[in-house]
Amino acid sequence: MKDYKIETKCVQGGYTPGNGEPRQIPIIQSTTFKYATSEDMGKLFDLEASGYFYSRLQNPTCDTVAAKICELEGGSAAMLLSSGQAASFFSVFNIASAGDHVVSSSALYGGTYNLFAVTMKRMGVEFTFVDPDCSDDELNAAFRPNTKAVFGETIANPALTVLDIERFAKAAHAHGVPLIIDNTFATPVNCRPIEFGADIVTHSTTKYIDGHGVSVGGCIVDSGKFDWMAHAEKFPGLCTPDESYHGITYAEKFGQAGAYITKATAQLMRDFGCTQSPQNAFYLNLGLESLHVRMERHCLNAKKVAEYLENSDKIAWVNSPALPSNKYYPLVQKYMPNGTCGVVSFGVKGGRAAAEKFMKALKLIAIETHVADARSCCLHPANATHRQMNDQELAAAGIPADLIRLSCGLEHYEDLIADIEQALASL
């Protein structure tokens, strides 16, 4: 599939049936797999042979879908997880332990911010948050001798800041650590962070990849480009024997292309069990088959809605990276020239109270803690997903208290604009 276009990979990537085999990917709804001898199974446990033995670690349906996302992102190995949260956690915890430090963009999904700033801090991993638009000096000053990774979102949810991936990759690599990019909002259809120097890509597949609001899931893709052994002292988990796995040294045994995902599967998935179900992986694949078609429409609708809002005198401000007036437009043209995402944020004149009144008046667009669905929905983050943050933290994350996040679905944009218009008229 390597030489095919992204649209073709969306439809046919990851799975090539043989003669007489199912055209659609089979759902292998089985927890366990049968072997003739204990020796056969022993080889799998020892990672001497590849194969399946228990679906907490690996399942053929999940691997097929992971392989498709891997092809879309241009990676060397990938795994599915039970949620985007699990993907964010595994992506960092696979290479950072108690006593380690991570540099992260401050413009993050609320759940990721909480995971990093509160829960992983309790586990002994410390984060320094930097403004995605900080200077190179500020970025470099955030690193410490125990820094193990840099983390950021291609298009941040809900701040809609666009990360200068190449600049962050350069800083990470100058300090001998990988760049992890959460590519949920752009999707591999619009941006492939590995092409710009990212080493690891994560997804909440719950969003555009599923796209129909049916299954929660996550994915991690490794580029296979980070040379762990060249920085072996920083990554003992990959570069020294794992006594919990018969003394395997992942970076030696599986090389640059396979070490990271094999460790995350053999160790973290074994112990934490944040596994995707085969049924959900099947739904994800259905979403993937139309991802390229849907993204085009999500992006068109968002652009039309953003243009309408920009010209409305009832709107205080509009933020959409798709607008040429947006401060990130130059970065958009570099990293995602074909489109950004379906999400637009804005503030209505009258602040917090007007925001709530506006949302109540919407008829077609529903209030939901969700984005990237076929059905348009909106949310007031300061009152919902980000309510654990104080005003100062909200400002640092680029989320004003009056921000309304609108996720444009696949309806006709004229109907969306008409709904917004009547809700604004009610103010």
Nearest distance, CB of residue 262 and ligand PLP, angstroms: 23
Nearest Cα neighbor of 283 from 204, 217, 221, 220 is: 217
Residue with tokens 């300061």: 382
Report the residue number, 15 or 168, with the smaller CB distance to ligand PLP: 168
From CA 127, how far away is CA 138, in angstroms rounded?
15
From CA 283, how far away is CA 210, in angstroms rounded?
7
Query: Is 199 an interacting residue with respect to ligand PLP (CB under 6 A)?
Result: no
Choices 182-190, 244-252, 260-268, 404-412; region in contact with ligand PLP by CB under 6 A: 182-190
Q: Which helix (H) or strand (E) holds 130?
A: strand 126-130
Report how many residues bind ligand PLP under the rule CB under 6 A: 17
Nearest distance, CB of residue 101 and ligand PLP, angstroms: 21
Handedness of CA 154, 115, 277, 36 (dihedral sign): positive
Nearest Cα neighbor of 416 from 306, 332, 337, 320 is: 306
Report the residue number, 82 or 267, with the smaller CB distance to ligand PLP: 82
Query: Is 154 an interacting residue with respect to ligand PLP (CB under 6 A)?
Result: no
From CA 355, how far away is CA 402, in angstroms rounded?
6
Give counts: helices (H), strands (E), the chain. 19, 12
Nearest Cα neighbor of 297 from 187, 216, 420, 205 is: 187
Query: Is 85 an interacting residue with respect to ligand PLP (CB under 6 A)?
Result: yes
Binding mask 4-43 for ligand PLP (x = CB under 6 A): ----------------------------------------
Query: Is 161 an interacting residue with respect to ligand PLP (CB under 6 A)?
Result: no
Nearest distance, CB of residue 379 and ligand PLP, angstroms: 11
Burial class (CB in 10 A: 0-12, 13-18, 19+), 375: middle
- Interface with ligand PLP (CB under 6 A), residue from 59, 61, 76, 83: 83
Nearest distance, CB of residue 134 and ligand PLP, angstroms: 20
Choices 38-46, 108-116, 277-285, 418-426; region in contact with ligand PLP by CB under 6 A: 108-116
Residues in touch with ligand PLP (CB under 6 A): 83-85, 88, 109, 111-112, 153, 157, 182, 184-185, 204, 206-207, 216, 218
